[in-house]
Amino acid sequence: MGSIEAARKEANGSLTEKKPCVVFVLGGPGSGKGTQCANIVQHFGYTHLSAGDLLRAEIKSGSENGTMIQNMIKEGKIVPSEVTIKLLQKAMLESGNDKFLIDGFPRNEENRAAFEAVTKIEPAFVLFFNCPEEEMERRLLNRNQGREDDNIETIRKRFKVFLESSLPVIEYYNAKGKVREIDAAKSIEDVFEDVKVIFTPKEEQVATA
């Protein structure tokens, strides 16, 4: 066996052994996943892994896959699972943590099935930020982070991919009773109030009504 393959198996072995707690954070582009993940990290000690951020870092690092990833992102297309899963596994191992918010992944059925097959990890639940397209469009056009995919042409393509490929993944987990849906059209503060309830253990929730 080649050393790279051996290393991959070993890495995966120690991940599987650890049985980490994984929450998939899903929602359309601009629904506020990254914003809320930053809040969850502060309050609940998770490590935030954004698949999109990992792919953008991979482009910047000058990796051999960089050009392919850049072209896919520009077109709003989903990068082959193998590439994204490797980046996620590496980041999970390097973090040393055992609680992860995996943001923007799985984006399609291929992502979902491949992650499950490779890592044997089932998510604890799926946090779904539900937001109307008009609101997401407004947010993306105002995001101002210099992203090459935050232009109206690519945004429309990303919305189409979300409806056609990502929503079915949310439906898959919904059928398993794993989806916690949040109204993401509210203010950042109000959305986080709803998020907190989901992450706070039941016995610690104080009745405020």
Contacted by 111, from ligand ADP, ligand C5P, Mg ion, none: CB < 5 to 8 Å by type: ligand C5P
Of 39 and 103, the one with the shorter C-beta distance to ligand C5P is 103
Judged by beta carbon, residue 55 or residue 118, the one nearer ligand ADP is 55
CA separation for the pair 2, 112 (Å, rounded): 27
On whether 104 is known to bind a ligand per the annotation, the reply is: yes
Q: According to the binding rule CB under 6 A, does residue 104 interact with ligand C5P?
A: yes
Q: How far, CA to CA in Å, does 31 sit from each of 4, 25, 104, 187, 192?
A: 37, 11, 11, 11, 13
Secondary structure of 137-162 as H, E, C letters: HHHHHCCCCCCCCCCHHHHHHHHHHH
Interface residue with ligand C5P among 20, 32, 52, 123 (CB under 6 A) is 52
Q: How many residues make contact with Mg ion (CB under 5 A)?
A: 2
177 annotated as belonging to a binding site for a ligand: no
Query: What is the spatial distance between Cα 100 and Cα 91, in angstroms, rounded to a whole number?
Result: 10
Name the residue nearer to ligand C5P (CB basis): 86 or 202. 86
Tell which positions 120-139 bind ligand ADP, by CB under 6 A: 139
**48: partner contacted, choices ligand ADP, Mg ion, ligand C5P, none (Cβ within 5-8 A by kind):** none
Residue numbers at the binding site for ligand ADP (CB under 6 A): 27, 29-35, 139, 143, 187-188, 191
Annotated binding residues for a ribonucleoside 5'-phosphate, written as ranges, equal 56, 77-79, 104-107, 147, 158
